[in-house]
């Protein structure tokens, strides 16, 4: 049995045995590593924040601290309204290089107008501000947007807090496809089944998921519209239908089918029409991933004798080998800017997340665990979500693209697998 097929079956067996359930449980996040240098920022209470059933600034602080790029300066319980410039010299004296001031104004319709301004205490200048409308129940969503604003102003990169993640969990015979905020909160069940669910993949619009379900006693690819719960079968051919991944235009999917023999790459429309075979190989081709510009499809294959990563033009043509270091590299995932490639490599018998700079071909191993799988970039390319194991059970973990920031996400007494980070949609 060839290496890639053996590994695929092992991964599938592990997935089916150790996915987890989290119907009403939240993912808890533990920061296991932080950046060497963190930006000191103060996020005091907003004016009138106490009128809300649940706060805003505590969520903003948690988002920024979890990123590993910021250290939070305690300002006590004193609120700083958005209507006045704070004592920037005083805030600076407490060690903060930036401070966020904000106010909440109740509206006649029961909503709140949330106004906030960010200040640079060193330059004694305002960096910008926004006004957002929210209901009391939207406190977390609003806080994530505020944290994204602060993150972008202070790092120059878009934030990723107002995004969602998908993952699969299992308890006993029950499998659930879960959707949660990027911080693990507000977990909701999109699909529950007594049969396995694997390979969730977000559409670029953030409103649909493609995934593989075994409810028909075989792997079948579905597209699921989250707002309505409507599901459509898009690939149910003879044999196995697996590994869906979206084209950047959101109109097509690459999938892996065995209808003509071994696992091979195909492209079809999001409604299941227009099936087209991408290549012919004597080996196994699997785990496709589109480049952000839509020009290439990267994939795993053992066509050269060992499991390696290749790419093929999205219009068809000859495949090009991408990885050459080591004898096992699989599960390619492109960064949003198309400059980096995350994948799983075997390093001294351990399966770990690695990232390659596609311009220089320099590869860096980012994790120190031994059973990593399913890497998925955050929309800004800063973090990579992946599945691993801890204490004999499946957990999700995240690592920054430079390897400095590390997080572990878990559900108490449950296994979690198959992560996918959704796009930034506003």
The answer to whether 383 and 401 have CB atoms below 8 angstroms apart is: yes
Of 130, 155, 180, the one marking the end of a domain is 155
Report pLDDT digits (tens) over 44-72. 999 999 889 899 999 999 999 999 899 99
Range of the domain at 300: 164-421
Give the DSSP per-residue string, 57-87.
HHHHHHHHHHTTSEEEPP-TT----TTS---
Q: What are phi and psi of 312, to 5 degrees?
A: -140, 145
Tell me what pLDDT residue 29 has: 61
pLDDT band at 31 (very low <50, low <70, confident <90, very high): low
Of 109, 138, 155, the one marking the end of a domain is 155
In a domain? residue 426: no
Report pLDDT digits (tens) over 407-421. 887 666 678 899 999
- Please indicate, yes or no, whether residues 115 and 184 belong to a single structural domain of this protein: no
Tell me what pLDDT residue 188 has: 93
Quote the mean pLDDT of the chain.
90
Plot region of 108 (φ>0 → left; ψ -120 to 50 → alpha; else → beta): alpha
In a domain? residue 76: yes
- Please indicate, yes or no, whether residues 270 and 411 belong to a single structural domain of this protein: yes
Of 155, 183, 211, the one marking the end of a domain is 155
The answer to whether 395 and 57 have CB atoms below 8 angstroms apart is: no
Q: At what angle do helices 57-66 and 139-155 cross, to 10 degrees?
A: 50
> Residue 11's domain is classified under what CATH number?
3.40.50.10070
Report pLDDT digits (tens) over 199-243. 999 999 999 999 999 999 999 999 999 999 999 999 999 999 999
- Please indicate, yes or no, whether residues 70 and 112 belong to a single structural domain of this protein: yes
Tell me what pLDDT residue 147 has: 98
Q: What is the mean pLDDT of residues 66-82?
A: 90
Report pLDDT digits (tens) over 350-372. 999 999 999 999 999 999 999 99
Q: What are phi and psi of 65, to 5 degrees?
A: -65, -40
Beta strands in 4-141 (DSSP E): 28-33, 39-42, 70-72, 98-106, 112-120, 125-134
Q: Which residues pair with 72 in a beta bridge?
A: 41
- Please indicate, yes or no, whether residues 249 and 357 belong to a single structural domain of this protein: yes
Distance, CA of 279 to CA of 392 (rounded, Å): 39
The answer to whether 18 and 32 have CB atoms below 8 angstroms apart is: no
In a domain? residue 386: yes
Indicate the pTM of the whole model.
0.89
For residue 340 the two structure tokens come to: 């980096």
CA 91 to chain centre: 35
- Please indicate, yes or no, whether residues 192 and 290 belong to a single structural domain of this protein: yes
The answer to whether 301 and 283 have CB atoms below 8 angstroms apart is: yes
Q: What is the mean pLDDT of residues 71-92?
A: 91
């Amino acid at each position: 049995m060839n290496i890639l097929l053996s590994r695929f079956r092992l991964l599938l067996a592990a997935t089916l045995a150790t996915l987890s359930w989290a119907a009403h449980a939240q993912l808890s996040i533990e920061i296991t590593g932080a950046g060497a240098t963190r930006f000191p920022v103060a996020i005091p209470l907003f004016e009138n924040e106490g009128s809300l059933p649940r706060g805003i600034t505590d969520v903003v602080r948690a988002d920024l601290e979890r990123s590993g790029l910021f250290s939070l300066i305690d300002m006590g319980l004193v609120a700083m309204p958005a209507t006045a410039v704070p004592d920037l010299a005083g805030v600076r004296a407490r060690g903060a290089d930036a401070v966020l001031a904000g106010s909440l104004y109740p509206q006649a319709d029961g909503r709140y107008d949330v106004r906030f301004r960010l200040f640079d205490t060193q330059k004694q200048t305002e960096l910008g501000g926004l006004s957002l409308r929210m209901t009391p129940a939207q406190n977390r969503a609003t806080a994530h947007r505020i944290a994204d604003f602060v993150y972008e102003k202070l790092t120059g990169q878009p934030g990723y807090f107002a995004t969602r993640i998908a993952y699969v969990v299992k308890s006993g015979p029950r499998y659930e496809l879960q959707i949660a905020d990027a911080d693990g909160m507000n977990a909701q069940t999109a699909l529950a089944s007594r049969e396995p669910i694997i390979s969730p993949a977000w559409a670029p619009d953030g409103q649909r998921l493609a995934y593989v379900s075994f409810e028909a006693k075989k792997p079948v690819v579905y597209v699921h519209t989250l707002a309505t719960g409507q599901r459509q079968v898009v690939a149910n051919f003879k044999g196995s239908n697996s590994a869906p991944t979206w084209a950047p235009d959101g109109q097509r999917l690459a999938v892996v089918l065995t209808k003509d023999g071994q696992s091979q790459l195909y492209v079809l429309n999001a409604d299941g029409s227009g099936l087209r075979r991408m290549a012919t190989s004597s080996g196994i081709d699997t785990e496709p991933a589109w480049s952000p510009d839509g020009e290439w499809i990267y994939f795993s294959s053992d066509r050269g004798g060992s499991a390696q990563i290749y790419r093929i033009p999205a219009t068809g043509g000859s495949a090009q080998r991408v990885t050459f270091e080591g004898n096992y590299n699989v599960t390619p995932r492109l960064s949003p800017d198309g400059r980096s490639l995350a994948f799983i490599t075997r390093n001294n018998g351990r399966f770990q997340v690695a990232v390659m700079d596609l311009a220089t071909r320099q590869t860096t191993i980012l994790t120190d665990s031994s059973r990593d799988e399913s890497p998925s970039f955050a929309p800004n390319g800063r973090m990579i979500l992946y599945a691993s194991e801890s204490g004999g059970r499946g957990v999700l973990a995240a690592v920054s693209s430079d390897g400095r920031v590390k997080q572990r996400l878990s559900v108490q007494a449950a296994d979690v697998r198959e992560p996918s980070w959704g796009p930034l949609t506003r």
